[in-house]
Amino acid sequence: MINKSKIILVLYLSFCFFACKQNSNPINEGQVTIVSTTGMIADMIKNIVKEKAIVSSLMGPGVDPHLYKATQGDLKLLQAADLIVYNGLHLEGKMTEILENLSNIKNVEAISNHITQDSILSDPQHPSSPDPHIWFDVKLWSSAIDGILPVLINLDTSQKEYFTSNALAYKKTLHNLDAEVKSTLESIPHEQRILITAHDAFKYYGHAYNIEVRGLQGISTLSEFGLKDRVDLVDFIVKRKIHAVFVESSVSQKNIMAIVEGCKQKGHNIIIGDSLFSDAMGAENTPEGSYIGMVRSNTHSIVNGLTNKKE
Ligand SMILES: [Zn+2]
């Protein structure tokens, strides 16, 4: 059977394509527009193109990309964009069809195609599912700049030198950030290097910075977890004498509260560390509203939570 919603979507996109061609937005006249899905991607691109393009992201602070569905407004933005950049590896699980359809008529890039494919981690429970949270290994994230830079230069070849120089400067800043994360985490004793979060967003972080990570939910907030997962995690926390668990800004706190309660019932009190920015950056115009600020904030929250013992 032909998928009716797919036909409607294609018709809608085609309509927008011609409508936008005939009536391009006068505000953006002559300016290159780039639309990303997540804030982390927009932040990387802004650091390269600076004032030479209009860069926006669909998903703001606190938005969970695993569950996000594009709105009518998003479709208009995507349709009007000169370039669309998304994360890929099924992060934007509910936008797959839209992005696929747009890629037939527009310039659409997955940032995950620009990192070494050998570096992509998989879900231990489902080895065929890639882990999309690649931005938490700062070095790996930075390596995507080399791939995305030629795409940006293609949009505006007159800015080749400017974009290249900005990209180099940003890569250097990220190199320093990577070193800063490593040295900041050194204060956590080896046996306390266990990060427990609501969903498994921090595997790349753990892999890059030598921290064991466990999430109550799998690599996507779409995945289900049962009573057994909860009991297992509580047992793990009690057995390993873990003192802190973490909530995430883009995931409901309800599940992690159930873990805290489960531990309490076993006579083991744990604290809830500061909220981590997992799949979305913080509010605009705050330090956490940038990729660098987000990584820095998480690192400090992790150090504070894992080194402050509360018996
Ligand atoms: Zn996630």
Which is more confident, 126 or 277?
A: 277
Angle at 77 between CA 131 and CA 160, to 5 degrees: 75
Same domain membership, residue 192 and residue 176: no
Instruction: Specify the pLDDT at position 96.
Output: 92
**Ligand 1 mean position, distance from CA 216 (Å):** 12
**Ligand 1 mean position, distance from CA 267 (Å):** 31
How many domains does the chain divide into?
2
CATH number of the domain enclosing 13: 3.40.50.1980
Other Cβ atoms within 10 Å of 207 Cβ, number: 16
180, 203, 229 - which closes a domain: 180
Same domain membership, residue 12 and residue 116: yes
Same domain membership, residue 16 and residue 107: yes
**Ligand 1 mean position, distance from CA 136 (Å):** 11
Which is more confident, 198 or 37?
A: 37
**Ligand 1 mean position, distance from CA 21 (Å):** 36
Instruction: Specify the pLDDT at position 28.
Output: 55
Q: Which helix (H) or strand (E) holds 114?
A: none
Same domain membership, residue 203 and residue 101: no
Same domain membership, residue 286 and residue 162: no
**pLDDT tens digit sequence for 27-52:** 456 789 999 999 999 999 999 999 99
**Ligand 1 mean position, distance from CA 125 (Å):** 15
Q: How many CA atoms lie within 13 A of 39 on its CB side?
A: 23
Same domain membership, residue 176 and residue 84: yes
**Ligand 1 mean position, distance from CA 154 (Å):** 31
Same domain membership, residue 192 and residue 149: no
Task: Copy the structure tokens of residue 155.
Answer: 């949009």
129, 161, 180 - which closes a domain: 180
Task: Copy the structure tokens of residue 166.
Answer: 């900005």
Rounded to whole angstroms, how far apart are CA atoms 82 and 108? 9
Task: Mark 171-199 as b/e (b = at least 16 C-beta within 10 Å).
Answer: beebeebbeebeeebeebeeebbbbbbbb
> Which residues are CB-neighbours of 3 under 8 A, at least 6 positions away?
none
Same domain membership, residue 300 and residue 233: yes
Task: Copy the structure tokens of residue 268.
Answer: 């083991």
**Ligand 1 mean position, distance from CA 100 (Å):** 21
**pLDDT tens digit sequence for 137-174:** 999 999 999 999 999 999 999 999 999 999 999 999 99
Report, as an integer, the average pLDDT of 96-121: 96
Same domain membership, residue 188 and residue 174: no
150, 180, 210 - which closes a domain: 180
Q: Which structural domain range is residue 220 located in?
A: 183-307
Same domain membership, residue 160 and residue 254: no
Residue pair 242/270 in contact by the 8 Å Cβ criterion = yes
Report, as an integer, the average pLDDT of 95-100: 94
